[in-house]
Structures are given as structure tokens and as C-alpha cells.
Structure 1
Amino acid sequence: MQVRIRVEDGGEGGDLLRWLRNDPVAGHAELSVLPAEPGQGEMGVADIVQAILDDVSGLGSLAVAVAAWRDARRQGRDRATMPTVRIQYKDATVEITNDDPAEVRRVVDALTASGDGTVDEDASGS
């Protein structure tokens, strides 16, 4: 399964890519950087990360690793400045704005259940 991860507002995609490559939970994913999509001039090239996963459990592990990355950035920051991360699988897109395990599980469920329809679930809070 192919998943795209985009860090909104902050240009921290390169940092997320390094985190995922070093994270034992996400280490099984084949990770690469995609060029910015046409019309996305405000985003840097490293802001779109592609992950190739073997199965749905890999998607869960990836979502946990992304939430952990966000949580690590929280120290010394105001909640309003935390980066929003969007994960896209097929035509479904979900925001990760919370590191709560129940919300991460809901994100994974929304992506896998709605693979052919657009989902705009907001896992806000925390």
C-alpha cells in the first residue's frame, strides 16, 4: 500500500523523514521524498513523504510514528504552532493533530475504511 504524508505549514517534512527512517516502529516502511505537486509552490520538496507498506498493520505503525514525531515537537511550542500532518491513502485524507492512541486508531480506521472516498477527519485535540 502506498501512503503519502504531508507536513502542513512549517517545512518540517525533511525532519519527519529522518524521524521515520530512524524510528523502529516505522522502520519497515520503504520511505522516499516526492517532489512538490504542481500548484504547491509554498511547500518545499521534502514536505511530501511517500511510504510503501506491506499491510494495514504497517499503516497503524506509521501513524503511531508520525504522532510520536508531532509529540516530540510539542516541547517548548504553543499548540497553535504544531505542524498538521496529513496522511493520504488512495482517495482518503486524514489529519493527525493529536498523539492520543485512540485518535491514531481512528485515523487508521478512517483511511482503510474509506480508501475510495475522501475523508476529512480531524483528530484534533491534545
Structure 2
Amino acid sequence: MQVRLRVEGGGEGGDLLRWLRNDPVAAHAKLSVLPAEPGQSEMGVADVVQAVLDDPAGFSGLVIAAAAWRDARRQGRNRATAPTVKIQYREATVEITHDDPAEIRRIIDTLTASGSDSVDEGAAGS
């Protein structure tokens, strides 16, 4: 299962990568950065984090860890100042804009529904 995470606005992808590598909830994921896509050179190479998961159950932990990173980036009590994290799995892309448990559950459900036909296909590099 292959998942991509992008920090909107750029510049913080490397920080997200470090957070995920040190988070025990996301420790099961094989993490790497992807080169900037054409036309996105201003965002930098570390703004897209790729996670490869062998266990579909670990997907929830990855989403929770990304939401925790976002929550830790809030300035003061204003939730609107935290960066938005986009998560892509197959054809589905969702945004983490809140750390509300119901919102996180909706995100996980949306993404896992997009891969319900074959969870392992993404890990094979397709």
C-alpha cells in the first residue's frame, strides 16, 4: 500500500518526514521523499512524503500521526494557522484540516474505501 502526503504551502515536508520517522504510531511505514514534480520546484523536494505500508492496519496510524504533526504546528490556539496535509491513496485525495477524531475517522474511511478492491497493489509499485 503506497500513500503520498503533501504539506500545502510547501517548506515543511522535511519536518513531517522527521516527525513520522520518530512517531511510534507511524514507525511501521517505509518513508521516503519524492522529487518535486515538474512545475513545483518552488516547493522543494521534501514536500512529498511517500509511505509504503505492508500492513493495511498501519494506515490508520499513519493518518493519526500526520494529524498529530499538524496539530503540533498550530500557532497559539488558532487552528487555521496549522498547515494543511493532503494524503493521496490511489485515486482518492483528502485534506487533514482538523484533528477532530470524527474527522480523522472520515479521512481513514474515505481513503481505505478507495483501495478496497486490492490493498496490496500499491506496494508493488503500480
Where has structure 1 moved over 6 Å in runs of 4 or more? none
1:36 aligns with 2:42: no
Counterpart in the other structure of 2:14: 14
Q: Secondary structure at the match of 1:25?
A: coil
Structure 1 residues not aligned, in runs of 5+: 117-126
- How far, CA to CA, are the matches of 1:40 and 1:10 in structure 2? 10
- Using the alignment, how far apart are the partners of 1:84 and 1:92 within structure 2? 16
Contact 2:21 2:31 in 1 (8 A): yes
- The offset of 1:74, in angstroms, is 1.2
Q: How far did residue 52 of structure 1 move? A: 0.3
Higher strand content, 1 or 2: 1
TM-score by length of 2: 0.85
- TM-score (structure 1 length as normaliser): 0.85
1:38-85 Cα offsets, whole Å, 9 max, x none, are: 122231111000000123311100000000001111143743332110
State whether structure 2 residue 101 is matched by structure 1 residue 109: no
- When the two chains are superposed, the root-mean-square deviation of aligned CA atoms in Å is 1.6
Task: Measure the CA separation in 2 of the matches of 1:94 and 1:2.
Answer: 15
